[in-house]
Amino acid sequence: MASPIEIVDLMTAEDRTVPDAVASQRERIAEAIALIEHAFRNGGRLFYVGAGTSGRLGILDASECPPTFGSDPSLVQGIIAGGMAAVFRSQEGAEDSPQGGSEAIDQFAVRAPDVVVGIAASGTTPFVRGALSRARECGASTVMIACTPVAGAVRELLDVLILPIVGPEVVTGSTRLKAGTATKLVLNMLTTGAMIRIGKTYGNLMVDLRASNVKLTDRSERIAMVVCGVTREEARSMLAAADGVLKVAIVMNLLGVGRAAAERALSDAGGSVRLAAGKAPPE
């Protein structure tokens, strides 16, 4: 039996291969980001569809978007085989139903210009395949993330195939390991990349965050201090004048205007602080 340190060394060695597998798909990931950006700019949404670990990873990424980017919860959504109960406890057999995937797409009223990203480490999950097929019929763009080669019949359903081949798992078939890590890296890039493209950041600062707790309120104040070169008290006053909306507070300060004018400037600039203020972000 392996010792604890031998297990750690083995898993660490295997995990080191994951970033290279993801990097091999850089062009495909960029194509998917462009599709998602187009959807967001034209009233569309992003849906992740998966079963088991894949479905849970999609829900995790979707749930992080509102607090990080101030996005509406409907903009990025996760769909998991077996419904929300499957987030906490495996729903055996749910992933084997293509009809279930198709019905889920109808339940969420998927349409153009939405993007549906199917997540299936094996590339064969029937629930995901059914969802992608129905999404395509509804006019949505379709993407798949898989970690093993995908059959031609599935490829025909896709606009973009992202295929980080991570190789055998440390525990055979346990795709929550390297495949799960690769999937999470890709999902990070899809939503972060699309949110950057639609102006949810200013440089590397999350200027559209939703200050829903003490930590995020503090972060809003610190970002205002960095961008505008003000004190903590001045940052608080700025945010109060902007009704707590960080982007508006920043533009008010940089342009020397009131809230209404700052909001108009942001609207005219498509939500981009850089364009609204005509100033590059701090390094």
Residue 178 placed within a domain: yes
Q: What are the backbone dihedrals phi and psi of residue 49, each rounded to the nearest 5 degrees, phi first?
A: -130, 125
Residue 206 placed within a domain: no
What's residue 53's pLDDT? 93
Give the active site residue among 27, 31, 37, 95. 95
234 is catalytic: no
What's residue 184's pLDDT? 98
The 10 Å CB-count burial string (b at 16+, else e) for 81-101 is bbeeebeeeebeebbebbebb
Residue whose C-alpha is closest to residue 52's, from 122, 114, 142: 122
Task: Give the total residue count for the chain.
Answer: 283
Residue 266 placed within a domain: yes
End-of-domain residue from the set 162, 197, 232: 197
Query: What's 143's domain CATH number?
Result: 3.40.50.10490
The 10 Å CB-count burial string (b at 16+, else e) for 138-167 is bebbbbbbbbbebeeebeebbebbbbbebe
Cβ-in-10-Å burial (0-12, 13-18, 19+) of 66 comes to middle
CA distances from 246 to 57, 84, 236, 269 (A): 29, 33, 10, 16
Query: What's 251's domain CATH number?
Result: 1.10.8.1080
Residues 178 and 223 in one domain: no
The 10 Å CB-count burial string (b at 16+, else e) for 200-218 is bbbeebbbbbbbeeeebee
Residue 208 placed within a domain: no
End-of-domain residue from the set 132, 162, 197: 197
What's residue 104's pLDDT? 97
Residues 219 and 192 in one domain: no
What is the spatial distance between Cα 113 and Cα 12, in angstroms, rounded to a whole number? 40
Secondary element (H or E) of residue 180: helix 178-197
95 is catalytic: yes
Residue 21 placed within a domain: yes
CA distances from 186 to 22, 70, 155, 163, 178 (A): 7, 21, 19, 10, 12
Give the active site residue among 31, 64, 103, 234. 64
How many helices and strands, by DSSP H and E, does the chain display?
14, 5
What's residue 25's pLDDT? 98
End-of-domain residue from the set 151, 167, 197: 197
Residues 156 and 257 in one domain: no
**Domain carrying residue 265:** 214-277
User: Is the separation of the CB atoms in 58 and 50 below 8 Å?
Assistant: yes
Q: What is the pLDDT along the chain (283 residues), one digit of tens a residue?
A: 899 999 999 999 999 999 999 999 999 999 999 999 999 999 999 999 999 999 999 999 999 999 999 999 999 999 999 998 889 888 777 888 999 999 999 999 999 999 999 999 998 899 999 999 999 999 999 999 999 999 899 999 999 999 999 999 989 988 899 999 999 999 999 999 999 999 999 999 999 988 889 999 999 999 999 999 999 999 999 999 999 999 999 999 999 999 999 999 999 999 999 999 999 898 7
Residue 106 placed within a domain: yes
What's residue 96's pLDDT? 85
What's residue 138's pLDDT? 98
